[in-house]
Amino acid sequence: MSTKPSKSLQTFPNPTPERDYHIHMQVPEFTCLCPLTGQPDFARIVLDIVPDRKCVELKSLKLYMWSFRDEGAFHEKVTNRILDDLVDAIAPRFLRVRAQWNVRGGIYTNVVVEHRKRGWKPAPRVDLADFDRAEPTAR
């Protein structure tokens, strides 16, 4: 596989397609360029995926994220493009892309975009917070 930036996202078969499960990824060093000034923009990109039949291969994801380094893009456009490209590559049941942009002009920007596969319904949320305590709580 190449060690140069690439827009190609490689995939592999989901090893457990019969089950909903959550894949959480963070890309803490995402960079692109401001389309107006050409100065670098920095962001943390957070991906939350419930895969369907395919998963994204991590090295190709790294090279894909790197491919934006020399491109000018508004925060909103690049966040939506990442979502669209991942949906095209892996057709997940659910995908959320959260881009947490570093300060520009004294303003922090967060852009959150989501995709839900038509007809997919998530299982009810299970909160296990009470089970994380070291000691039982007196009642």
Whether 34 is catalytic is: yes
Q: Which two tokens stand for residue 7?
A: 């827009």
CA-wise closest residue to 75 among 40, 49, 51, 125: 40
What separation in angstroms does the CA of 9 have from each of 48, 73, 91?
Answer: 17, 20, 12
CB 39 within 8 A of CB 80: no
Catalytic hit among 34, 48, 52, 85: 34
- Catalytic member of 20, 32, 41, 127: 41
Residues annotated as catalytic (active site), given as ranges: 34, 41
